[in-house]
Structure 1
Amino acid sequence: MAAPHDVPSAAQLVAAVRDFLADDVLPAVEGRVRFHTRVAINVLGMVEREIELGPAQAAEHERRLAGLGVADDAELAAAVREGRFDDSALVEALRDAVGAKLEVANPGYLGDG
């Protein structure tokens, strides 16, 4: 937890709201409200994971870009269009980037390997 903030952390607060929606609200609603409650639960899960994983993922993404010799995603896209990369290095970097996105968006899509 970063100063000056106390417990609970932002991630813990988001988790508490997500749990409330899942445990108390979802069983009590139906139809359109139930659907939107499920969406809200999923969104809060994504926010929680981004809060927890985001800083390390951002640092790793910067290292990946530097390893490819580009400063940012726009420069990476331009370099890909120009065909400036060895295929294996590019594929590995992109696979890692997509994996990080899935860790936040929906870790279930990552499977077991």
Structure 2
Amino acid sequence: MQDEPRPDELIKAVADFLREQVAPQLTGHAAFKLRVGINALDLVTRQLTLTQASDTDELARLKELLGHDGALHDLNRELSERIASGAMDLSTPGLQDHLWRTTLAKLAVDQPNYASYRRELEGAGQHLSANAPSS
């Protein structure tokens, strides 16, 4: 185990410094490029803090859907093949819920401020809302 601060805390500190101290001093293309860099740091922070739990949940759902154990990547490939072949569709028990939860987990990392995602969390009260970042 590593001592504090954790990698996600270090990355967040750098992003916050750039956002609060450096960004106000820049304009034009340099400011744009800095915002792109800050967004990348924010994305990495979310990946470090959210993906382990969402991958664990996704793996459990896939095991249940497919009826056997395996690696996340392999089970996702198998699920895709079953959907493509017509062996599974939205009438398959649990499939629609799995796809929806997986989509919400991916949006929590990739686009947490996406308006439709935020509305879904607020309206449906999904458990992911507790893990969704505010920035």
TM-score in terms of structure 2 length: 0.75
Instruction: Please tell me the root mean square deviation across aligned C-alpha atoms, in Å.
Output: 1.5
- The one of 61, 77, 81 equivalent to 2:84 is 81
* Paired residue secondary structure (1:27): helix
How many aligned residue pairs are there?
A: 110
Identity %, equivalent residues: 35
**1:95 has 2:100 as partner:** yes
**What's the counterpart of residue 107 of structure 1?**
112
**What's the counterpart of residue 63 of structure 1?**
60
Long gaps (5+) in structure 2: 124-135
Long gaps (5+) in structure 1: none
Instruction: Indicate conservation of the 8 Å contact 2:83/2:89, yes or no.
Output: no
Inter-CA distance 78–86: structure 2 relative to 1 (3 Å threshold): closer
1:86 deviates by: 4.5
Which letter does structure 1 place at the counterpart of 2:40? Answer: V
* Paired residue secondary structure (1:87): coil
**1:6 has 2:9 as partner:** no
**What's the counterpart of residue 53 of structure 1?**
50
Mean CA deviation greater in 86-95 or 57-66:
86-95
**What's the counterpart of residue 132 of structure 2?**
none
Tell me how far apart the structure 2 counterparts of residues 78 and 34 of structure 1 sit (CA, whole Å): 44
- The one of 40, 43, 60 equivalent to 2:40 is 43
1:55 deviates by: 1.1
Which letter does structure 2 place at the counterpart of 1:78? Answer: E
Mapping for residues 9-24 of structure 1, pairs under 5 Å: 9-24=6-21
